[in-house]
Structure formats: structure tokens, C-alpha cells
A = this chain, B = another copy of it.
Amino acid sequence: MIGDIEVRFEPQGKRIRIRRGQNILEAASRAGILIDAPCGGKGLCGKCKVRVRNEKLVPSPAEEKLLSPEEIERNIRLACQYFPQSDVVVEILEPAIESIGKVELEKGLFRIRSRCPVSKFFLSLPPPSLEDQRSDEERLLSALAKADRIAPFVRLRLPKILREANFQVTATVVEGEVIAIDKGNTEREIYGVALDIGTTTLAAYLLHLPTGTKVASYSALNPQTIYGADVVSRINYTIEKKEGLAEMRQRVLEGINKLLDEVCSFSGVCKEKIYQATVVGNTCMTHFFLGVDGRNLAFSPYVPAFSRTVQLRASEAGLDICPDARVYILPNIAGFVGADTVGIILATGLYKKKGFYLALDVGTNGEIALGSREGITVCSTAAGPAFEGAHIQFGMHATSGAINRVYIEDDVRIGTIDGGAPRGICGSGLLDAVAEMLKAGLIDSSGRMLSPEEAEGFSPALRERLLIYEGDRCFVLSRAEENALGRDIFISQRDVRELQLAKGAMRAGIEILLKEMGIEARQLEGVFLAGAFGNYIRRESALTVGLLPPLPLDKIFMVGNAAGRGAMMALALPSALRRAEEIARNCHYIELTASPEFTNYFMDGMLFPEYNVLSFK
């Protein structure tokens, strides 16, 4: 549907035609430019800021509320609130995808154990003649001891490739099936890709399968983000809009195929030479990836459509790799404990540990697994998006310029991701700030922040940072003149409450699992912190705010994207793929919403520990 209004996006220079009644958020998304909009374009989060160049606009009520007078003066508006009436030029202030996307080229740095499931054979076949009229298929298969059939796309391509290559070809074989045919000798080019479909972030890991070497990896914002930061908004979109589910699938496929483009062009690997893919993601993301209705995940009893390992071909999955490549979606455990958790359990080896270990994936939705080789219990808890920087006044994703480290002594010192000028606060920065404020006494164990008047005993520098903004107590982390925003970046009392809700939910989950397994926190051999958040977090802060039960620091391990690593293991090692299925089948799932004790643990968990009881140093 092409409309009659032209929107030009700068600095990208992209133009798109829209109809009256479409907003800039939709227009940008159609133009392939992602604007972060955690609330899904409802005018609630105030994140989707753009600057309108050639038109002076009256701000909407939502904009009046969510934008500063300076921003309104600069003609900054919310993309979701702006419905152009005529041709317009719009300036994108922070394109979400460019700022997160990052290719990592890794040569021989990272290797995993591999038992390559894909074999390649260079063949010099006799050309057909009146004495040898075997079909192309027969000619190929009779030269291959390890294959007895050809895949659909091979059947289509075989006649042409055989003749163009003068019958000198390389056959790719998986489980007795020829899945690809190349001209000449390409025996060494065997790649696989592990995909992690997060609600927020997509990641692709390209592996050279015979050696288990990670060749490159890439991550980018999940383009579905425009439908909302959390899975429930996205499920709602698929319920409310006809074709919404197909759209949701299309989005994530576009995002993944773009990742594949990047990772391949960067490493010089031909996409057609990727012969296997594994996929992890939370349950809802795996549903969307397959185009399966996930509406039942949003309502009690939160039942997924499928949970076992799914196997299909790349052409069916919509992945732009070798079309007959096998794609495996790792199994889900429950509606809110997905294949990503299975990946974490696989990667951390939780299922084979002698003692008890805890594995946490901290995010909008927190997944928690507790167990040993004797058995694993898992649960999921709706922590809310505070850990991802959403619902926080100056919250942002963990990208360049995000405040991620806070130290408070006589004054405040901050650190940012990539060392850039501060632009906002990410989840780990929030956690750090609150932990330091707790230690300094600026927040008490109930979470109450001191008012400027109550801070008499503090240094003047700290006192000056306490202020009241729109009736709410605030603590300034970065002054307007020091940062990229041109206004004070602060933590508000409300932000502290958001963090309390998030960490309270996580902690309640941990306590219920401990109780279920009949053990105490001190019996834990270790805690694995996984996920992007888990990578940036300071262990001390996690303990200070009570996200984790009291434990010695050296028992806490930051394991980064363990879900992605699990996907890589399942890619390179067929036994790991089978193990994933066993893990999912044998995990004991606890539904927290059905647990009568959850509310109590949640209330307790929201409180901060008294600072003097902390003895983890």
C-alpha cells in the first residue's frame, strides 16, 4: 500500500511513501530503520524520539508529558505520536539497530568441541553416454557410500550444476541425504550458524564446523521491538491485528537474515555454505520464528503450542542459507522457560554437576534453573523490563554511552559503555547506582531515597545531587554539561521502585527453587549469571541489592551469552543436540503464579538487605 505522503529519513537518506493516518514509527519500520519503542508505540515510554525538520508541530499531550521543554523547542517529537499530513524530513536521533549491531571477527580465538555432523565429498563423476544413461541422481548417489537420497533443492539444481562443472562436483551429506551440490572442490567450506533470538537482541554465531571454530558473530536489536519491548505486547499485536503473526515472523526473519548477511560478508563466508543452524530463544520467540500462534502463552495456564525439538529445512524456516540445510529449534521447557534456558543449562553443564548450582538469565523475564546431575528445577519470573533499561526515566539498552558503572564516595564517579559521553542508564548501571546509594546510606533498606533536606550529614557534592523533579526524589548521576543529552541524568525514587520489583521477583524465584530442592543458599556450589545483563553487572552490586542470596563473591560466575553458547554446542556436536532434548524433558518446572508462597517471598525480596549484614567481601 503506497501512500501519497513522502517521508525522508536523515541521516540515512531513505525515502518512503505513506498514507495519511500512518505514524513515523511505522514509516521508519517500513523503511528498514528501527526506532526503539519499548511501549510498542502507545505513547507511554517516551523513547521513540525523532526531530522533525521542515514542519513546526504542536506537541500532543503525551509529548507534553514525556518530552522536556528544550526538546519540544528543538522540534523533537515522538515517532509514534506524529502522523504527517504532508511530505516531511525526519531526523533519526538514535537508530536502534546501528547502535547495537556489532560484528566480532574471531579467528581461532574461540573453539568448541566439535564432531561435525556435515560431510563433504569431492567427486569426479563419469559423464553420461548412450552406454551409461543413469539419471543424474543415480550417478551422484552411486558415487557416495554415505548417502542414499537427494534433498529437494539438490534435485532441482543437479542437472545444471553437474554439466556446468563438467561432472566435477562436491556433495554435502547430512544423515544420508545430499543437501547441497557445488561446482568443483569445496570440501573445506563447511559452516553452521547458531542463532539466539532474544526478545531484545538477536545474535548469530558463525562456526566452521569441522574445527568448531567461531569465525564471526553479530548481534542486533530484534526488529520486533517496534511492537513493544516485552513478549506480551507482541502477542497482543498478533491477536489484535489480522496477519499480525505473519508480520511478526517476517520481522524476525528479516532481522536474522540481515545478521547472516553481515556475519557472512564480514567473514567472507558464502551463505550457501552454511549447512546447519540451531536456534535458541524464549518460548514466545521460537513460536514467532515458526509463525506459530503464541496467544496461549499470554493467558493462564500459559501453554506453549510445542515444546520438543523442531527440525525443518532452511527453506521452510525462511533462513537465507543452504536451502536444504537442517535447522533445529532447541526444545522449550514451559511457556516462559524456553530453548534459551535449555541452552544455558547445556552450556554451563548444570545437568552434570556434582553439587548444586544456580543459573540465572536476568532480563525482562527472568529464568532461573537450580540443580545438579541429580535433577534440575526451573521457574520463570516476570521481573519487568527494568533490567533492560525500560520503564526507567533515563533507561536505555546496554549500548554505547549507557552509564553502566557507578561509584559513590564523596562524590559520584560513573563509567559508560565504550567510554562515550553519557546518554542514559542501562540495567547494570541502575543496579550499580542503587547498590552504591544503599552502601552510602542515600537509600534505606525499604528503598526510600533521602530527600535533599534529610541529607545533611553528606558531602556537599552528594547533597547537591539530591533534588526533587516533578514531585519525585531524584539523585543526579550526570550533569547536563557533562553528557550528550544536555540535561541532568538521574535516578528517581520511581526508578528505585522499578528495580525493587524486578529484583524482588528474581529473588522470590530463587528462594522458591531453593525451598523446592530442600537446600539452603550456602549449600550452592556456584551461581551462573547469564545474558547481556549478566555480562555487565558487578557481582558485588548484585549481592548488595539482594538480587542474589548472600554468597562468597568467588562462587558467582559471569557466563555471558550462555544460551548462544549452548546453541553453538548443539550445532557442532550432535550429542549435545540430543542432550538438549533430554534436558528439556527432565527439567521440573514450577509455576510461580500457582505457588501460594510467591507473594510472601516477593514482598521480602523487594526489600534491600541491611547493609551491615553483608559480608561477602
Interface on A for B, CB 8 Å cutoff? 128-138, 141, 149-150, 152, 155-156, 158-160, 163, 290-293, 295-296, 300-308, 310, 312, 316, 332, 334-335, 589, 591, 593-594
CB–CB B134/A303 < 8 A: yes
Interface of A, secondary structure class, is mixed
Expressed in whole angstroms, the Cα–Cα distance for A290 and B149 within the complex equals 16
Q: How far is the CB of A605 from chain B (nearest CB, A)?
A: 22
CB–CB B293/A159 < 8 A: yes
What are the 9 A-B residue pairs with the smallest beta carbon separation, nearest first? A135-B307, A137-B306, A135-B304, A130-B594, A128-B303, A159-B305, A130-B301, A136-B305, A128-B301
Q: How far is the CB of A157 from chain B (nearest CB, A)?
A: 9
Name the B residues within 8 Å of A295 (CB-CB).
Answer: 159
CB–CB B593/A130 < 8 A: yes
CB–CB B130/A305 < 8 A: no
CB–CB B152/A308 < 8 A: no
Name the B residues within 8 Å of A332 (CB-CB).
Answer: 135
CB–CB B130/A300 < 8 A: yes
Name the contact of A135 in the complex, choosing from B129, B293, B303 (C-beta under 8 A).
B303
Q: How far is the CB of A246 from chain B (nearest CB, A)?
A: 11
Given A137-B307, A150-B306, A152-B316, 11 more pairs with CB closer than 8 A: A129-B301, A130-B591, A131-B594, A133-B335, A136-B296, A136-B305, A149-B308, A152-B312, A155-B310, A156-B292, A160-B293
Shortest Cβ distance from A294 into B: residue: B159
CB–CB A133/B591 < 8 A: yes
Expressed in whole angstroms, the Cα–Cα distance for A336 and B136 within the complex equals 15
Q: How far is the CB of A402 from chain B (nearest CB, A)?
A: 36
CB–CB A308/B137 < 8 A: yes
Name the B residues within 8 Å of A594 (CB-CB).
Answer: 130-131
Name the B residues within 8 Å of A129 (CB-CB).
Answer: 301
Name the B residues within 8 Å of A593 (CB-CB).
Answer: 130
CB–CB B308/A156 < 8 A: no
CB–CB B136/A303 < 8 A: yes
CB–CB B133/A303 < 8 A: yes
